[in-house]
Amino acid sequence: MLSKALMRSLFLPRGAFGKQALKYTGRALSAQPRDREIIKSRELEKEELRPLYMDFQATTPMDPRVLDAMLPYQVNYYGNPHSRTHAYGWESESAMEKARKQVADLIGADPREIIFTSGATESNNMSIKGVARFYKAKKKHIITTQTEHKCVLDSCRVLEAEGFEVTYLPVKINGLLDLKARSLPAKREICRSRNVFFHTDAAQAIGKIPIDVSDWKVDLMSISGHKIYGPKGVGALYVRRRPRVRLEPVQSGGGQERGLRSGTVPTPLAVGLGAACEIAQQEMEYDHKRVSVLAKRLVEKITSELPDVVMNGDPEQRYPGCINLSFAYVEGESLLMALKDVALSSGSACTSASLEPSYVLRAIGTDEDLAHSSIRFGIGRFTTEEEVDYTAEKCIQQVKRLREMSPLWEMVQEGIDLKSIKWTQH
């Protein structure tokens, strides 16, 4: 059933477009009674066939409160936020600036430091390429890590082709940099004292852990809407004003967003991002505690029933809702296919279509066979205990079944050390 608020927002006021009122009714609402029943039954069938969603690192479902905030700007308040000669533009601009403040408040920034983008990929491209190209006469060295998102690594490779020097730092087995007793803020302080710009891709951290850009001493930060229960197609880039960070715009146009990101800001999406940030700020502590309990429940259920399960990454310094497990002697892709009732991933969403093991797991030193047997479980705001229990039960069941079919597992059960075997290729 649609909520009353949602129903009200789906209808424009009578006379809004002349003599006839425009109504957004959707197929089911506009269908004849008999057809409506057929459509409803088909929708129920589809719903029953859909797997449980346990892939919250790939994307998150939109929070209904975010949708409530967005809908008026989809149908009633549709003015261009950059049109400053009439009320339609003023309404949209006011909503856009409110959203900008909501994003800024979540990370302890000034609203003037927030640039709306289409997502974290664009924000990463803007920050890395924009800063490098603006300061290329004086600064030609970029430092990143081997475990960054593909858009970060590819942006660095593009700059390498333009003549920049790029250093790809390795990480420890837990996925963290070897800071050699220096805290992360201390490292950033060194960067600040030597006029080195510090960028962080916070797409997977924003709204999940407390962030204060002043304490973190970052100069640029990328934000994604659909990772925090907001809409897809919108994100933001934090660009520090004092000391000022300069960027060369990546795209040309009308000079919106302080001249850094040309193009009309989509007001409904910006409003959705702002609402998602405000909700995250209010409920972050509760969400974190709840996700931690569910994650612990999932891991304990699986590891209590299955031997030879390895948790990848640091057990303490990580977001509890992101669980990457390797099931020895089981092919990850085979396990994914067996777990058709649960939506999971074998790697990052941007590269999970590849059969190659996660480059992140390889970077932290995971053995090739374990990297091939990894599965990522994503737990979020709307995950239930029942879903966690069902996922654990199905996972245990299918891993046992696949291991029974594995000659390697049989050899291990017989006490054979697989590393002592000299394998030959044909």
Domain holding 72: CATH number?
3.40.640.10
**Does residue 422 lie within any of the structural domains?**
no
* 206/84 same-domain check: yes
- Asked whether residue 294 falls in the same domain as residue 223, the answer is no
156 assigned to active site:
no
252 and 313 in a single domain? The answer is no
Give backbone dihedrals phi and psi of 260, rounded to 5 degrees, phi first: -95, -25
Identify the domain boundary among 280, 315, 341: 280
Quick one: 108 and 236 in the same domain? yes
Predicted pLDDT at 332: 86
Residues 139 and 212 in one domain: yes
Contacts of 260 (CB under 8 A, 6+ apart): 115, 126, 130, 237, 239, 247, 249
Q: Cα(143)–Cα(132) distance, rounded to whole angstroms?
A: 11
Residue 221 has a pLDDT of 98
Per DSSP, 419 falls in state G
Least confident of 232-236, 257-261, 396-400: 257-261
Query: 276 vs 243, which has greater pLDDT?
Result: 276
In this prediction, residue 238 carries a pLDDT of: 99
Residue 405 domain-assigned (yes or no) = yes
Tens of pLDDT, residues 142-157: 999 887 888 999 999 9
Same domain, 234 and 154: yes
| CA pseudo-torsion sign 21, 25, 31, 34 | negative
Q: How far is CA 137 from each of CA 140, 163, 222, 317, rounded to the nearest angstrom?
A: 8, 11, 25, 38
Mark whether 216 and 246 lie in a shared domain: yes
- Buried b or exposed e, range 107-138, using 16+ CB within 10 angstroms: bebeeebbbbbbbbbbbbbbbbbbbbebbeee
CB 12 within 8 A of CB 21: yes
Query: For the segment 244-253, what is each residue's pLDDT rounded down to a tens digit?
Result: 999 999 889 9
pLDDT of 299 higher than 90 = yes
Identify the residue with better confidence: 43 or 58. 58
7 pLDDT more than 80: no
Mean pLDDT across 181-202: 76
Domain contains 389? yes
Q: Are residues 149 and 267 in the same domain?
A: yes
Per-residue confidence (pLDDT) for residue 179, from 0 to 100:
61
Does any domain span residue 76? yes
pLDDT confidence of residue 94: 98
Residue 59 inside a domain? The answer is no
Question: Residues 393-415: what's their mean pLDDT?
Answer: 87
Residue pLDDT, tens place only, 306-322? 999 988 887 788 899 99
- Domain assignment of residue 232, yes or no: yes
pLDDT of 15 > 90? The answer is no
Full-model pTM:
0.82
pLDDT band at 352, cuts 50/70/90? very low
Whole-number pLDDT of residue 425: 61
Query: Cβ(116)–Cβ(236) under 8 Å?
Result: yes
Q: Choose one of 235, 259, 280: the last residue of a domain.
A: 280
Going by pLDDT thresholds of 50, 70 and 90, the confidence category of residue 360 is low
Catalytic residue among 151, 277, 322, 350: 350
379 with 237, same domain: the answer is no
pLDDT computed for residue 361 by the predictor: 52
Distance of alpha carbon 276 from alpha carbon 228, whole angstroms:
6
Contacts of 276 (CB under 8 A, 6+ apart): 63, 66, 207, 225, 228, 229, 230, 231
Q: How confident is the model at residue 408 (pLDDT cuts 50, 70, 90)?
A: confident
Residue 27: band (very low, low, confident or very high) from pLDDT cuts 50, 70, 90: very low
According to the per-residue pLDDT averaged within each range, which of 188-202, 278-292, 357-371, 394-408 is highest? Answer: 278-292
pLDDT at 279: 99
Whether residue 114 has pLDDT greater than 50? yes
Mean pLDDT, range 337-359, rounded to an integer: 71
CATH of the domain at 396: 3.90.1150.10
Same domain, 288 and 307: yes
* pLDDT at residue 187 is higher than 80: no
Segment 76-90, tens digit of pLDDT? 999 999 999 999 999
123: pLDDT strictly greater than 80: yes
In a domain, 426, yes or no: no
Kindly indicate the confidence band of residue 110, based on its pLDDT and cuts at 50, 70 and 90: very high
pLDDT of 2 reads 46
Span of 68-72, 173-177, 221-225, 347-351 with lowest mean pLDDT: 347-351
- What is the domain extent for residue 302? 283-413
Q: Are residues 275 and 291 in the same domain?
A: no
Distances in Å between the Cα of 399 and the Cα atoms of 303, 307, 326 are 12, 10, 11
Number of domains composing the chain: 3
pLDDT number for residue 16: 38
Please report the pLDDT score of residue 370 as a whole number. 65
Let me know if residue 57 belongs to a domain: no
Among residues 257, 280, 303, the one where a domain terminates is 280
Q: Is 226 in the same domain as 293?
A: no
Most confident of 22-31, 142-151, 225-234: 225-234
**What is the pLDDT, as a whole number, of residue 316?**
81
Beta partners for 235? 117, 224
Report the pLDDT value the prediction gives residue 5, as an integer from 0 to 100: 44
- Please tell me which residue, 252 or 229, carries the higher pLDDT value: 229
Closest C-alpha to 27, from 39, 38, 37: 39
Q: How many angstroms separate the CA atoms of 15 and 76, rounded?
A: 12
